[in-house]
Amino acid sequence: LPALPLGELFIRGQAVAVDPELFRFDADEIAAYAAARGTPIPPERARELAASSNGWAAGIVIALSDPSFSLRGAAHSAAAAYLSEQLVPALPADLIAFLEESSVFETLDLHVLEMCAALAPARARIDGLRRGGALVSELAAGRFRVHPLLRELAFARLAARGGVSRAHGAAADAYARAG
6-35 per-position pLDDT tens digit: 778 878 888 877 776 777 899 999 999 999
Q: What is the phi/psi pair of residue 140, to 5°?
A: -160, 175
Tell me what pLDDT residue 71 has: 55
Instruction: Give residue-wise pLDDT tens across range 115-128.
Output: 998 898 999 999 99
Residue-by-residue DSSP string for 22-41: GG---HHHHHHHHHHTT---
Mean residue pLDDT across the chain: 85
Task: Give 143's strand partners.
Answer: 109, 140
Does the pLDDT of residue 76 top 80, yes or no?
A: no
Least confident of 69-78, 98-107, 120-129: 69-78
Residue-by-residue DSSP string for 65-120: HSTT--STT-TTSHHHHHIIIIIHHHS-HHHHHHHHHGGG-SSEEHHHHTTSTTT-
Does the pLDDT of residue 151 top 60, yes or no?
A: yes
User: Mean pLDDT across the stretch 94-116?
Assistant: 94
Distance CA 108, CA 150 (A): 14
Tell me what pLDDT residue 68 has: 60
| Terminal C-alpha separation, the chain | 39
Contact 133/90 with Cβ under 8 angstroms?
yes
Closest Cα partner for 105 from 86, 118, 89, 92?
118
Distance CA 14, CA 67 (A): 41
